[in-house]
Structure 1
Amino acid sequence: MAAAVGVGLPAQAAGNDDGQVKLGVLGDMSGVYSSGFSGDGAVAAVEMAAEDFGGEVLGKPIEVVSADHQNKADVASATARAWIDRDGVDVIMDLTNSAVGLAVQNLASEKGIITINTGSATSELTGASCTEYGIHYGYDTHALPVGTATAIVKNGGKKWFFITADYAFGHSLEKNTRAVVEELGGSVVGSVNAPLNTNDFSSYLLQAKSSGAQVIGLANAGQDTTNAVKQANEFGIVAGGQQLAGMLVLLSDIRSLGLETTAGLQFTTGWYWDRDEASREWTERYLDNGGTTPTSPHAALYSATMAYLKAVEAAGTDESDAVREAMGNKPIDDFFAQGGTIRDDGLLEHDMYLLKAKQPSESEGTWDLATIERTIPGDRAYASLAESGCPRVAE
């Protein structure tokens, strides 16, 4: 039987329904995720999309507001509440940091406001914690290891040790990666949790080094990943025969670390700027319009903004129920995702890509850092709707 939403729509119209479309970019503007995930580049992507749309919808100007959630769920929730109750924000996007993403998605849904998570990774957003108005757009902790862990295990890396970011994202990513490793006949010999924004990974790396693991899985992201990789090289871990597996790596991380350090590293992403002509054209315009890093989360924000604005236009209102229905009924077919669909659980299902960092001699430009090794079809990358665990979805 086809999947259907198991909870009825509220009797009263949701959202602001005032014809004035205000887009809120709530992200990490100064911390560990401010470079490739969020920050100024995220705001630039949303502003560029609004401008490309024509600067107005339903006959009124599109407004973009932004704020720094400081990677704190309470700060993010307070900002989101003020935006909704006082400022008339219609949709809240970015939400990098899974603890933030979960908190704001729940709060906004209670108030009938759409959220579009492009930076959060936890699959819980469309699993047990799914909501009527929550959308997860770009990648999740189920899709990431399907590419990276599968490639590593099949190449002989069967004994794993995890260094895991100690909050919702890290735990979800380790759990999902473990499942892939064990399903393919591998094993996990140990793990250790590291606080967000860790500067010194020495004790965690020494535990991993002495574990006997072939592969050290980094279930973290942003500066935590780059710090761990740099220090692993200082300890001679890779030279000693162990392999690092970055489970959420962005192109900005590769550039920060340098190809001398990352050459040959495999990682999974929802988009790559050099995939085709449409992606290259968008990247050139984005960088010319204040964009900072042509990463998957920044491209996803542009795509999600356009999808939202097209849905408002199609619905003829900014009322949330009508807009959410329009987003679900229209395929996402653009430079970011071809043939993508937003499912009833809120997940954008689309193809993912396994990338491999180039050798330094192979790079021909600033962002020419990787090659696409394999395309992973969306229906294989993501958990099925029936498997998602979303309580709102009934078979």
Structure 2
Amino acid sequence: MIPAIRTWIVACVTAGGMLAALPAHSQISDGVVKLGVINDQSGPFSSLTGPGSVLAIRMAVEDMKPQLGDIRVEILVADHQNKPDVGVATVKRWLDVDNIDAVLDVSNSSVALGVQTLIRERNKVALYGIIGTTELTGKQCAKTGFSWVHDAYALVSGPVKTLTKGPEDTWYFLGADFEFGKNMVQVAKRLVTARGGKTVGEAFHPMSEADFSSYLLQAQGSKAKMVAFANAGTQLVNVMKQWQEFGMQGGGQRPIATLLSVADVHAAGMDVMQGLTATTAWYWGLNDDTRAFAKRFFARFNAMPTESQAGMYSATMHYLKAVAATKTDATDAVVSRMREVPVDDMFAKGARLRPDGKLAHDFLLVTVKTKQESKAPWDYYKVDAVIPSSDAFTSLEASDCPLVTDAAKSK
């Protein structure tokens, strides 16, 4: 039996009031644009997405009031509990009964693949946040499904390409035993081999795992130069705490996070996370624009935004700008507008949606600072390098997305 999912309407806004009549020229189905936000609201990934993503989406809706005019927007929210059956059933109900126009965030690879099938069948929009599996914009791509933040290749390519020079650079992988972790390790191993390095071991842990001692002992025994963790949220926090407890922090092996957020560093503390290397799609302290958004977000959430939360603000803004420009929520018109206009905001500068659904934007290679290096609260990252979008993602030439034509591949 599928557990009950609580759903809330958290925004219903118009420039002229909730009951304002739609102008005659607008073609908004049911008189309202409906957004369905589904993610991990209380589990291991809730700090990366969760209520913070809902707030970021709400902020985008509020900021779009002047452009939307009398177009009303509703936001429905649900917790998929990291269970594909729960997530897919919820989205199916939203699409078939509540007539939502777009699914947002999702933040779980297995759920996302199920959602992708639904939106493809019903010609609806999905704006995905932190989805690791490359299948989403590969073999399972959809013309209305957009991966806004990252995928497994983008997350592992920075550290692997930077740290792997030859056969002496060895890797051990510890991943979460579900689609995200498995896909992340598979992609990373392929890149290690391509760079001339060697994978000396791998292991996968259950989603509910809290004791990583046996896994860490295996990693230590492998004598790999790099130990990479293909997990996130509370899983990553717990494994890094035990990494420190076992004295591995100064043991000569370098820890790599394939998915790291400032929320993880804040939860574990800089003493635990210092020296951890990762690739990230966005950092709140990068420039004046990112800091301005972060200041507004922090005032309402008491935490700095993660890359996923910032990405969901950007995705929502881009979608609603297309609705405002076309004066309709008809999928084909909105998607066409989204693809025509670049994304140029505090999340991504001059970024465009590729034929496979990826938002092509730059990434950052970062290392967690020591307490001595940190100058202010939440000042956690040293930016080691900017990774251009052309290097961050798999090339269109190598894409196995059926929507990528020969003409697009040749560009």
TM-score past 0.5 threshold: yes
- Which residue of structure 1 aligns with residue 6 of structure 2? none
Cα distance change, pair 304–82 in 1 and its aligned pair in 2 (3 A)? same
Distance in 2, matches of 1:370 and 1:58, equals 40
Distance in 1, matches of 2:66 and 2:110, equals 32
* Residue among 170, 181, 194 paired with 1:170: 181
Distance in 2, matches of 1:256 and 1:280, equals 21
Please tell me whether residue 213 in structure 1 is matched to residue 224 in structure 2. yes
* Residue among 114, 129, 148 paired with 1:137: 148
**Deviation string, structure 1 residues 216-251 (Cα, Å, up to 9, x no partner):** 111111111111111122122233222211111111
Distance in 1, matches of 2:66 and 2:131, equals 27
Structure-to-structure mapping, 1:35-114, within 5 angstroms: 35-36=47-48, 38-54=49-65, 57=68, 59-114=70-125
Distance in 2, matches of 1:55 and 1:70, equals 35
Counterpart contact for 1:19–1:58, Cα < 8 Å? no
- Which residue of structure 1 aligns with residue 354 of structure 2? 343
Q: How far did 1:329 drift?
A: 0.9
Cα distance change, pair 293–104 in 1 and its aligned pair in 2 (3 A)? farther
- Which residue of structure 2 aligns with residue 318 of structure 1? 329
Structure-to-structure mapping, 1:1-395, within 5 angstroms: 17-36=29-48, 38-54=49-65, 57=68, 59-154=70-165, 158-290=169-301, 292-395=303-406
Q: Which residue identity does 1:374 align to in structure 2?
A: A
- Count the aligned residue pairs: 380
Distance in 2, matches of 1:254 and 1:151, equals 22
Q: 226-235 or 42-51, which moves further after superposition?
A: 226-235
Cα distance change, pair 201–41 in 1 and its aligned pair in 2 (3 A)? same
Distance in 2, matches of 1:292 and 1:157, equals 41
**Deviation string, structure 1 residues 289-326 (Cα, Å, up to 9, x no partner):** 33644110000000000000011112221011111111
Q: 316-325 or 154-163, which moves further after superposition?
A: 154-163
Distance in 1, matches of 2:135 and 2:353, equals 16
Q: 368-377 or 228-237, which moves further after superposition?
A: 228-237
Counterpart contact for 2:228–2:256, Cα < 8 Å? yes
Q: How far did 1:78 drift?
A: 1.0
Counterpart contact for 1:273–1:279, Cα < 8 Å? yes
Distance in 2, matches of 1:228 and 1:357, equals 16
Q: Which residue identity does 2:38 align to in structure 1?
A: L
Q: How far did 1:49 drift?
A: 0.5
Counterpart contact for 2:171–2:198, Cα < 8 Å? yes
Q: Point out which structure has higher relative CO (alpha carbons under 8 A, 6+ apart).
A: 1
Cα distance change, pair 285–218 in 1 and its aligned pair in 2 (3 A)? same
Distance in 2, matches of 1:230 and 1:156, equals 30
**Deviation string, structure 1 residues 242-265 (Cα, Å, up to 9, x no partner):** 221111111111122211122222
Aligned identity (percent) is 40
Counterpart contact for 2:255–2:275, Cα < 8 Å? no
Q: Which residue identity does 1:104 align to in structure 2?
A: V
TM-score by length of 2: 0.89
Q: How far did 1:369 drift?
A: 0.8
Please give the secondary structure, in 2, of the residue aligned with 1:362. Answer: coil
Q: Which residue identity does 2:34 align to in structure 1?
A: K
Counterpart contact for 1:41–1:291, Cα < 8 Å? no
Counterpart contact for 1:94–1:119, Cα < 8 Å? yes
Please give the secondary structure, in 2, of the residue aligned with 1:375. Answer: strand
Counterpart contact for 1:255–1:367, Cα < 8 Å? yes
**Deviation string, structure 1 residues 10-59 (Cα, Å, up to 9, x no partner):** xxxxx9844411111101001010012x1110110000000011177362
Cα distance change, pair 377–157 in 1 and its aligned pair in 2 (3 A)? farther
Q: Which residue identity does 1:88 align to in structure 2?
A: N
Q: 330-339 or 80-89, which moves further after superposition?
A: 80-89
Unmatched tracts of structure 1, length 5 or more: 1-14
Cα distance change, pair 16–202 in 1 and its aligned pair in 2 (3 A)? farther
Q: Which residue identity does 1:27 align to in structure 2?
A: N
Q: 27-36 or 80-89, which moves further after superposition?
A: 80-89
